Chains A and B, each alone.
Chain A
Amino acid sequence: MRVSELPRPSPERLLKQVQAEENKRWGAKLKIFLGYAPGVGKSYRMLDEARRRHERGEDVIVGAVQGRQSEEVQALLHKLEMIPPLQTPEGQAVDIDAILRRAPQVCIIDPLAAHNAPGSRNPNRWQDVQELLRNGISVLTSVNLLHVQEIKEKVQAITGKDTTETIPKSFLLAADDIVIVDVPPDLCLSRQGEKLTSTGISNSQERQLSELRELALLLTAEVVDAQLESYVHAHGMEPVFGTHERFLVCMTPHSNALAMIESGRRNKDRFQGELHAIYVCEPGRSKRERVTIRRYFEVAKQAGAATDVLESDDPISAIVDFARQNRITQIFIGHSARNSWRDRLFGDPVLRLIRAAEGIDVRVFPH
């Protein structure tokens, strides 16, 4: 595929690029340490990086840190300069003016999802972070899975914990760097100071933490995938293909589209992948066929598929082009319940698709 044929950048991506360019002009970077639960050691990893950077000569200061800290973390904090938060009758807030006057290269603002005291110049910490970045100051920060707005509900359902302090997921996606701090659940619990029962950790606690851990790993993978896409795009390179399973269901009125969509949904869930469903519009479809297709579209959307209609008089090429542009790894296609005059003339479309879709798995479904 040539670069000119690559899909146009989405508005979100353009916005992200502009933001990134703006910060880059000043060389400011945002790095976020993500943890699946308290006790994984985010603060330690973050401050340890700050210490190493400081020792290598970078000008690193601390603008805000969590209240309760372990001894190891306190030992790291002692090595770094700190700008104390503003104390107001309402509570604390990051002292943005003092940090801007001090103008360090790197500032630690932690935790990311905290609120500032009412009446502060920014109600949320993440807005403080944006302000520092706009002023050319790099930021190191950390956040727990629970505090990501789009994931909060799931975490709540698993653990019963709730919070009002959240950051939008788009903030993570726009970060220059994200790092997941991954430790086994037992270690995490022992750091939380839980008493280990005689049989080790209680089953339900371990199960909860495992679930959170899986969610955090997948969220990080999603951010990394988005970064990879922008990188590849910015460098005019071919899309990277095959890091993530992406399924494409090709719907036609005479194939068993419903079975394909159902299977696509299950595959998407199992692989934590993406699902697309398309219909290649050919002229001369009857009204009944159009009604059928409309119903399939509804079902596909409910199954969580991104749906598209392609217009082409060469359906095979249209499908393969779409698949390549969208980095599809598996195409689902059905045997047709009846052969049209075209099939008799040009050969079975299923076989033609298999021949054309080099580099992509093709799964053929019964009708």
Chain B
Amino acid sequence: MPAPVDTSRGSLKVYLGYAAGVGKTFQMLADGHAAAQRGVDVVVAYFEPHARPDTIGQAQGLEIVAHRKIEYRGKVFQEMDTEAVLRRKPQIALVDELAHTNVPGSERTKRWEDVQVVLDAGIEVWTTMNVQHIESLNDQIWQITGIQVRETVPDGIVRQAAEIVAVDVTPEALLNRLKRGAVYKPEMVEKALTGFFKGSNLGALRELTLRQAAHEVDLRQSAYDETRGFQVPRISEARPSAATDDQSKERILIHITADPSTGMLIRRGRRVADYLHADCTALFVHRTPELSQLPAEERQAVEKHLRFARSLQIETRILSGNDIAKTVVEFARGNQVTQIFVARAEMSLVERLRGRNFTEDIVRSAQDLQVTVVADRSRRQVS
């Protein structure tokens, strides 16, 4: 795959899996050995100290940069020593677990932030992560598995990767590894089997991983075709390529509120926009003349959502307007928006008395536009 335009920056490769034990780290280390044999300067910048025996064996023979030891609440934790990696300046640094949250007292909160620093120094990074750590998939993962994943990586970070490699294994083989004690310590196995590793979860996460990897390959291919000016549509797609599909270019508008469901709305909007190669804007409308006049709690919630949208590379806008639904719809009409994304709001008491709610106001008043009422994926369907 073509490296990003900025050639002074290191390129990123992500080994994508669907659970602990599928073999991401093992594969990364194996490829690291192969590169080292070709004469490339490879180091292991971070490697889980409690790794599985097979994996530890695989790391042998590769240079490991000593971890940084940080004491927190009387315990010693190991983190990647980013400064040491920069000083060592290898061609390729292998960094396990991109989604990891650093222990308090570390320079940066998240490992993916450390990885940014390493990439900025012109070092190529290979790293590992699971599909459930992709931010925009968070609600879908919850809806499918009932598992709330807390450590996530913004989609933009994954998108930077020049290459995504799917590490695939059958759930059966994974369960065998688990039962042999090759993944977790014996006392953890029972818990894992009834929790994350249970029943249909593994199959569903595996399917998501494969589809995500296909999507990532597709995105890179489209970007590549655009920069190289390829006019010929790809054969694998019946659809026209992104370059020739401009007349039907979609533009998505996400309506931001203080409601907690907004996070889910932003993630879904981002995801759909990526698949449709659409532009994506987020809009907040306040009734008060100035944003600062909003009640503090509401303002903080809104600002959090706007920051979150920006972190997913969504352009944000703030408008003032008495009739919120009307302001949103007029903005959409004036900005060639093809689809408005709104949350499926619960009706408040006032709204119940009025017989309809805000979401329904938008649906009614935007009869010339497409309105997508996004399901609340944070609440699982009850049978």
Contacts and interface: CB of A to CB of B under 8 A. Distances in A.
Interface of A: 1-2, 31, 154, 157-158, 176-185, 187, 203, 206-207, 210-215, 217-218, 220-221, 224-225, 227-228, 231-232, 235, 237-238, 240-245, 263, 266-267, 269-272, 324, 330, 335, 348, 350-351, 354, 357-367
B375 to A, nearest CB: 5
A79 to B, nearest CB: 18
B228 A203 contact: yes
Nearest to A364: B371
Contacts of B331: none
Given A221-B211, A224-B207, A362-B344, 6 more contacts: A224-B210, A228-B203, A231-B200, A242-B144, A351-B364, A359-B380
Contact of B217 (A217, A225, A240, A269): A217
B239 A213 contact: no
Secondary structure class of chain B's binding surface, majority of residues? mixed
A335 B367 contact: yes
A243 B381 CA distance: 15
6 contacts: A210-B1, A214-B217, A217-B211, A240-B204, A362-B373, A367-B367
B369 A232 contact: no
Given A225-B207, A232-B200, A359-B376, A2 B214 contact: no
Nearest to A332: B370
Contacts of A241: 143-144, 381
B275 A271 contact: yes
A351 B375 contact: no
A228 B239 contact: no
B63 to A, nearest CB: 22
Interface in B206-254: 206-208, 210-211, 213-215, 217-218, 220-221, 224-225, 228, 230, 234-239, 248
A124 B376 CA distance: 51
B276 interface: yes
B360 A179 contact: no
A244 B370 contact: no
Contacts of A154: 235-236
Contacts of B238: 269
Nearest to A1: B383
B370 A217 contact: no
Nearest to B268: A361
A341 B37 CA distance: 77
Contact of A363 (B173, B225, B359, B371): B371
B119 to A, nearest CB: 18
B377 interface: yes
A266 B248 contact: yes
Nearest to A203: B228
B169 interface: yes
Contacts of A366: 367-370
Given A266-B248, A271-B275, A367-B367, A361 B383 contact: no
Nearest to B228: A203
A224 B375 CA distance: 25
A242 B276 CA distance: 18
Contact of B170 (A157, A179, A365): A179
B30 to A, nearest CB: 10
Contacts of B218: 214
A42 B372 CA distance: 43
Contacts of A2: 383
B165 interface: yes
A184 B235 contact: no
A176 B172 CA distance: 10
B207 A182 contact: no
Contacts of A348: 364
B166 interface: yes
Contacts of A235: 199-200
